[in-house]
Structure 1
Amino acid sequence: MPETAPPGNGDQETDQDATASYPTTARTLPARGRARASYDRELVHSVLDEAYVCHLGFVRDGAPVVLPTLFGRVGERLYVHGSTGSRPLREAGTADPGLPVCLTVTHVDGLVLARSAFHHSVNYRSVVVHGTAVTVTDPEERSLALDAIVDQAVPGRSRDSRPADAKELAATAVVRLDLDELSAKVRTGGPNEEPEDLSLPYWAGVVPLARGYGAPVASDDLDPAVPLPHYLASL
Structure 2
Amino acid sequence: MADKAVTDLPALHALLDDVLLGHVAVVVDGHPVAFPTAVARDGDRLLVHGSTGSSWLRTLSAGAPASVTVTELDAVVVARASFESSFHYRSAVLFGRFTALDGEEKERALDVLVDRILPGRSAELRRPTKRELAATLILALPIAEWSLKVSRRPPDDLPEDVEGPAWAGIVPLRRGYGDPVPAPDLRPGIPVPPSVRALTD
Q: Would you say the 8 A contact 1:99–1:134 is kept in 2? A: no
Q: Would you say the 8 A contact 2:75–2:87 is kept in 1? A: yes
Q: Would you say the 8 A contact 2:51–2:135 is kept in 1? A: yes
Amino acid corresponding to residue 214 of structure 1 in structure 2:
G
Aligned runs of 1:26-175 on 2, under 5 Å? 33-94=1-62, 98-136=63-101, 138-175=102-139
Shift of 1:222: 2.3
Higher strand share: 2
SS at match of 2:104: helix
TM-score by length of 2: 0.91
Range moving further from structure 2, 61-70 or 115-124: 61-70
Cα distance in 1 for partners of 2:72, 2:99 equals: 26
Higher helix share: 2
Residue 193 of structure 2 is matched in structure 1 by: 229
The alignment's C-alpha RMSD in Å is 1.6
Amino acid corresponding to residue 181 of structure 1 in structure 2:
E
Shift of 1:113: 1.7
Shift of 1:114: 1.2
- Flag as ranges the 4+ runs of structure 1 deviating above 4 A: none
Same amino acid, percent of matched pairs: 44
Cα distance in 1 for partners of 2:5, 2:53 equals: 37
Cα distance in 2 for partners of 1:223, 1:180 equals: 47
Cα distance in 1 for partners of 2:104, 2:68 equals: 24
Q: Deviations over 1:156-182 (max 9, x none)?
A: 111111222122222111211000011
Q: Deviations over 1:92-134 (max 9, x none)?
A: 233xxx1111111111111112111111110111221111112
